[in-house]
Copies of this chain bind each other. A is one copy, B any other.
Amino acid sequence: MVTMEDVARLAGVSKMTVSNVVNNRAGVSEPVRRRVLEAIRRSGYRVNVSARTLKSGRTGVIGLAVPDVEAAYFGHLASHVIAEARRRGFHVAIEESGANAGGEADAVTRSRTLQFDGLILSAVALDRLEEPADAHYPLVMLGEQDFGGRFDHVAMPNEEGTHAATAHLADQGCRRIAIVTGGSLEGVNMVSRRYRGYRAALAERGLDADPPLLFVLDDMSMEAGRAAADRLADSGLGVDGVVAVTDTVALGLLRGLADRGLRVPGDVRVAGFDDVPPAAYAVPSLTTVAPDHRWMAAKAVELVVRRIAAPLRPTGRYVAPFQLVVRESSAAG
């Protein structure tokens, strides 16, 4: 491995001067700078990040921990986070947390161990951190969970989104609107927030929200969505509209409804949440709540970078803007 020392010898200067050139610091004369750059080129030198980090305490890497790299909506987000971070001179390391509290806590620990300068954590399960030592680590919550305001939080428009979707279905003429969701309605989380938005929209319009119109799945997979179609079809509730908690569930549901011979939007109208890429190309294409992922990514990066610079400033909560994208699955009868 070629070190600064080698470059310095080659250029006939001290290694401190090489360091100054590498980091574009002032106080190096033009001829010397050129000599050093030439020596760097000739020798194929690269800085040793470990050595730099050891001395400076900064790695220039931001972690992005997501529940599951397979999840469709994550890719969108990740790619914007990477782009935004690069603009600000940071690298992004993507970590998988597994969609459970233990894995998410581990992600924080790993992030500190690997010395990421900060972490953007998209948690779905974790609702508090044990380690008081983590209290001032630059951490930005992205998505569902917030930790009671202890960290910066970029939130999804959960209530607002399902409210809009539900209202839209009602406007299209639906009268018996079900909600299909997974996970727990206990506590304050993504699912309970989305459920609340749905309830509020129904209440405003004086529509039913019988408990039977709530279908709770084991998880939020496509397969669960597909299975939900059977439960809907067999329920005898006369459901004519469905709000699905995510597009993944909605896409599975569309598939399941097709299997049961129910026509969308003829018999049932469907709306999803996230606007994942396949939503636009499904048959029928899926009406969905489209949060502004680019905005969320940019905000999260901005917040984490700001917090790296100033670990103690007060935290804030920011809700992403969204659009309701109306497509075939909710077309008027």
Contact = CB atoms under 8 A, between A and B. Distances in A.
Kindly state the interface size class of chain A when it binds its partner. 35 or more
Contacts of A82: 69, 96
A327 to B, nearest CB: 11
Interface in A12-71: 44, 46-51, 53-54, 57, 59, 61, 68-71
Nearest to A277: B222
Interface stretch (A106-114, A148-156, A307-315, A318-326): A106-114
Interface of A: 1, 44, 46-51, 53-54, 57, 59, 61, 68-72, 74-76, 78-79, 82, 91, 93-94, 96, 110, 112-115, 131, 133, 222, 226, 251-252, 254-255, 258, 277-278, 280-283, 285
Given A93-B94, A282-B282, A61 B252 contact: no
Contacts of A44: 131, 133
Contacts of A46: 112-113
Contacts of A50: 49-51, 53-54, 59, 115
B115 A48 contact: yes
B79 A75 contact: no
B75 A94 contact: no
A contact face: mostly helix, strand, loop, or mixed: helix
Given A113-B46, A255-B282, A255-B285, A79 B68 contact: yes
A79 B75 CA distance: 13
A127 B130 CA distance: 48
The 9 A-B residue pairs whose C-beta atoms are closest, nearest first, are A70-B75, A94-B94, A50-B53, A50-B54, A255-B281, A93-B93, A50-B50, A69-B78, A278-B278
A114 B53 CA distance: 11
* From A44, A59, A283, residue with most partner B Cβ within 10 Å: A283
Contacts of A131: 44
Contact of A114 (B54, B91, B96, B252): B91
A252 B283 CA distance: 10
The winner among A54, A68, A278 for most chain B CB atoms within 10 A is A278
